[in-house]
């Protein structure tokens, strides 16, 4: 088995990324945003949307909405073939760094109660469960778990960001 190291880049999303974002969402979410809704978010000053590329190919994305001094994670997805290699952690570290540089103090999100994989990722950065929104997801009626990271300036958050970036700046991808 060969092991190759591929370059990772995280950058702002642009309108030309729309098709790739929707393609990934179609693979990982049971319902997806419409192209016009996504385009609106990409143009909005209240939203930041980031893209992660592996060897020049888009493999994931994240979205953050700002409201006063709080952020709301609107989306986070990694393409199925690229999951489990640390890209989700890199995206979340990047999102928390962006939030800190925007002087946000806290971040929240909703996640399906059954999505323990995503919950585990968020917990690594200090997000904690803070309540449930019953029947939140219209496709299945599943409840949403509300999670909050109350203090983005907690040094543990900074440590997790640094540790993630250090370990995973280049992601080892098993090939063959
Ligand atoms: C959630 C998601 C973004 C994580 O991306 P990823 O690149 O696979 O995540 P990583 O490889 O960085 O792993 C991050 C953490 O997730 C958890 N995780 C990863 N793979 C896992 C698996 N197979 N089973 C359980 N937990 C897993 C672990 O806690 C892991 O941390 P660790 O590597 O320190 O153990 C990705 O799985 C995804 O796109 N899922 C579908 C869409 C989704 O659920 N989005 C979130 C909506 S709120």
**What residues contact 126, with CB distance under 8 A and at least 6 apart?**
149, 154, 156, 157, 160
pLDDT in tens, 138-159: 999 999 999 999 999 999 999 9
Does position 167 have pLDDT exceeding 90, yes or no? no
Give the tokens for residue 61.
Answer: 């994305």
Does position 169 have pLDDT exceeding 70, yes or no? no
The C-alpha atoms of residue 146 and residue 136 are separated, in whole angstroms, by: 11
Please state the rounded mean pLDDT for residues 6-12.
Answer: 88
Instruction: Single out the catalytic residue among 122, 155, 159, 162.
Output: 122
Give the tokens for residue 73.
Answer: 């994670």
100 CB-contact burial (10 Å; exposed 0-12 / middle 13-18 / buried 19+): middle
Instruction: Single out the catalytic residue among 6, 15, 53, 110.
Output: 110
Q: Which atom of ligand 1 is nearest to the CA of 84?
A: 11
pLDDT in tens, 21-79: 999 999 999 999 999 999 999 999 999 999 999 999 999 999 999 999 999 999 999 99
Ligand 1 geometric centre to CA of 58 (Å)? 17
Please state the rounded mean pLDDT for residues 113-120.
Answer: 98
| Ligand 1 site-directed mutation target among 84, 119, 124, most atoms within 8 Å of CB | 84
| Ligand 1 site-directed mutation target among 23, 108, 111, 118, most atoms within 8 Å of CB | 118
Could you confirm whether 110 is annotated as catalytic?
yes
Could you confirm whether 136 is annotated as catalytic?
no
In the chain, where the domains are located: 2-175
Give the tokens for residue 142.
Answer: 């599943």
Bridge partners (DSSP) listed for residue 52: 10, 60
Question: How many C-alpha atoms does 43 have within 13 Å on its Cβ side?
Answer: 7
The C-alpha atoms of residue 83 and residue 167 are separated, in whole angstroms, by: 16
* pTM, to two decimals: 0.92
Phi, psi of 157 (to 5 degrees): -65, -45
Q: Give, using CA atoms, the residue closest to atom 48 of ligand 1.
A: 111
Give the pLDDT score at 7: 85
**How are beta strands 106-112 and 70-78 bridged, if at all?**
parallel
Fold of 2-175: Aminopeptidase (3.40.630)
DSSP H/E element including 59 = strand 57-67
Ligand 1 geometric centre to CA of 89 (Å)? 8
Give the pLDDT score at 168: 63
Q: Which atom of ligand 1 is nearest to the CA of 60?
A: 39
Does position 81 have pLDDT exceeding 90, yes or no? yes
Ligand 1 pocket list (CB less than 6 A): 28, 76-78, 83-89, 109, 111, 115, 117-118, 120-121, 124
């Amino acid at each position: 088995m060969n092991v190759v190291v591929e370059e990772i880049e995280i950058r702002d999303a642009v309108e030309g990324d729309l098709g790739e974002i929707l393609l990934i969402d179609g693979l990982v979410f049971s319902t997806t945003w419409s192209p016009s809704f996504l385009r609106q978010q990409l143009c909005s000053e209240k939203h930041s949307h980031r893209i992660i590329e592996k060897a020049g190919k888009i493999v994931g994305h994240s979205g953050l909405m700002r409201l006063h001094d709080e952020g709301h994670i609107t989306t986070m997805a990694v393409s199925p073939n690229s999951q489990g290699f640390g890209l989700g952690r890199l995206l979340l570290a990047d999102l928390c760094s962006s939030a800190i540089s925007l002087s946000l103090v806290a971040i929240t999100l909703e996640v399906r109660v059954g999505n323990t994989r995503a919950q585990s990722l968020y917990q690594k950065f200090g997000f904690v469960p803070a309540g449930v929104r019953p029947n939140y997801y219209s496709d299945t009626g599943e409840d949403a778990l509300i999670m909050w990271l109350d203090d983005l300036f907690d040094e543990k958050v900074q440590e997790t960001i640094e540790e993630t970036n250090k370990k995973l700046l280049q992601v080892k991808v098993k090939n063959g």
